[in-house]
Structure 1
Amino acid sequence: MDTAQPIDVHQHLVPPALEDALRRRGQPPLLDGDTLHRDGCAPAAFGPGHFDVEARVAQLEEDGCAKALISLSSPLGLEYLPPEEAWPLLDHHDKPLLIHPGPVSLPAGQLPAWWTAVVPFVAQQHAAWHAWHAWQVAGPQAHPDLRACFVALAGLAPLHGDRVRARGGSGFALTGNVYYETPSYRERTVALLQDNVAAGAIVYGSDRPYAQPSLTGLPASTSDAIRVANPGRLLTGPSRKPTHQEAWCQTRSG
């Protein structure tokens, strides 16, 4: 894969066979006309942006990206793969692991529409990152070469190092194999996280069609780092150390 071009590392698309299956279901996840119903989530409009490949390619070009990494939507509850099956695949293909929120169960109609994306999804990422740190970073590294990407900036978990140390933890080691994807967060928040993670660890993702791109005012050098250089290392491995221009904390303005 040519990774020297802008990449969106986080998009979702529903293939035709899955759309048909969702329309036949009688309980969530299901499609009812133009509405997608998922457990724990507010009903969402379902249109061409969810399934039309040509429309998505046009949108990708409009966003200024040449490639996108596509997956099903984990909150549908369809993607669980047992670790004993996942590890051999990751090792064999030398691919990164995308760590994404999964399905949730909440009372219907009692919470605002934004609740699931802001509270349980963020909490899942926060917990996943701390589990990763305790298992893969602080302890014996069972998979030292595995590259992992936490969507939603890992629920901002790396910002809690002070609290971990105050409660008896050992703090967080910085590693070049862990990446943080950006959807819905703006420049100030991303810059704050970058000060607490390894250089070159921020990668661009939009979470289309469920969200819109949020990083629109980046300096050219910073945009190149998080859209091109950093995603390239995520996909192919750290063949070299990030340059100063590829490290957000060394290139952001101000």
Structure 2
Amino acid sequence: MTIDVHQHLWTPAFTEALRRRTAPPRLDGWTLHLDGEPPFPADPLDHDPAARLALDRELDLALVSLSSPLGIESLPPEDAWPLIDAYHEDAAALPAPFGAWAAACLTDVDPVRLRAALDLGLAGLQLPATAVGTEEGLLAVAPLLDVLAERDLPLFVHPGPAGSPVASGPQAPDAQVPGAQAPGWWPAVVPYVQQMHAAWFAFAAFGRPRHPRLRVCFALLAGLAPLHSERLISRGGPGRGRVDPGMFVETSSYGPRAVDAIVRELGVDVVVNGSDRPYATAPDLAPVLGEAARHAVTVTNPGRLLNRDRHRPRPPAEPEGARRR
């Protein structure tokens, strides 16, 4: 019954749509070109559905999502929607144990299109952290969050483009990564973490009052933002011990020590399993936290996040030529 809420899989229609582009984000063969990051040579095997099925054979559900660092959601509508539509079409056709998060265009906020995507059986909506890291950003996407609330489905917050600022306004930095000369680990360790940190506190301060029942999951342990509670309190923030049961964090690219620290701060009930496959693997928590905590993180908590009674993986596709009797 193990659930992984965070994977990426570039399927055929989506990759072909990226190859047709002449400006970032684009694919040249299997080399990915993004603004603010060095060219990334992707491994085709990482995005082969059959190979991924073999890796995920022990999972009950593996949720894939659009790669938000590509910046697709922030493209002009005429560029963004063809890529998002290709992603949705491919994602909805994936066999069990796959499920998927919906995506949305941030330059054309469209609740009607989100409802149509969710009607395909998608698990909820993913938005880049750069879209929800400020009060203004949360107000802009509020119509999408209202759709999730009416469907009782969650929001997944994922790092956005590495070159995107985490703040808005005239004093905002132009970028969070020093061009193509940055080491390969830089985006994952610096801008992605900063974005998630901002998104966690922005939702707590501005999003939660407007969306009181929305369940939200923050990738990569929200950039360890919950561990800053002492500093928050010292600067006049709400008191320690006030855990929001609807604000979840997932574990990708962290290990047992970081997860243990988060559990000590938030408790185990809001921690969910995520791998960020094919770029990382999920941590083995049992040796440090024990079997009960492992079960909570990989089964119970993600089931609660996703409202599992309403979201189940699709059954395996019927063999070609088979007929129901």
* TM-score calculated relative to the size of structure 1: 0.82
Secondary structure of the 2:180 match is coil
1:97 equivalent in alignment to 2:155: yes
**AA aligned opposite 1:65:** L
* Whole-angstrom distance in 2 between the partners of 1:90 and 1:215: 31
* TM-score calculated relative to the size of structure 2: 0.65
The answer to whether the Cα contact below 8 Å between 1:76 and 1:102 also exists between their aligned partners in 2 is yes
* Whole-angstrom distance in 2 between the partners of 1:169 and 1:40: 34
* Whole-angstrom distance in 2 between the partners of 1:165 and 1:88: 30
Of structures 1 and 2, the one scoring higher in RCO (CA 8 A, sep 6+) is 1
C-alpha deviation, 1:60, in angstroms: 0.9
Equivalence for 1:208: 277
Secondary structure of the 1:195 match is helix
* Whole-angstrom distance in 2 between the partners of 1:174 and 1:124: 21
1:193 aligned residue (238, 248, 262): 262
Equivalence for 2:18: 22
1:223 aligned residue (294, 297, 302): 294
The answer to whether the Cα contact below 8 Å between 1:147 and 1:237 also exists between their aligned partners in 2 is no
* Whole-angstrom distance in 2 between the partners of 1:45 and 1:217: 34
* Whole-angstrom distance in 1 between the partners of 2:207 and 2:144: 16
Equivalence for 1:245: none
Q: Pick closer, same or farther for the CA change 1:57–1:25 going to 2, 3 Å.
A: same
1:78 equivalent in alignment to 2:146: no
After superposition, the C-alpha distances for 1:180-207 in whole angstroms (9 at most, x for unaligned) are 1001111011010111114411100000
Provide structure 2 residue ranges, at least 5 long, that are not aligned to the other structure: 74-104, 110-140, 164-176, 310-325
**AA aligned opposite 2:219:** V
Equivalence for 1:40: 36
1:183 equivalent in alignment to 2:268: no
Equivalence for 2:126: none
Q: Which portions of structure 1, spanning 4 or more consecutive aligned residues, are displaced by more than 6 angstroms? A: none
Equivalence for 2:224: 156
Equivalence for 2:62: 68
* Whole-angstrom distance in 1 between the partners of 2:37 and 2:218: 21
* Whole-angstrom distance in 2 between the partners of 1:39 and 1:51: 22
Identity of aligned residues (%): 47
**AA aligned opposite 1:133:** A
After superposition, the C-alpha distances for 1:87-114 in whole angstroms (9 at most, x for unaligned) are 2431233211001111132443321110
C-alpha deviation, 1:65, in angstroms: 1.8
In the TM superposition, 1:102-113 aligns within 5 A as 102-105=160-163, 106-113=177-184
Equivalence for 2:78: none
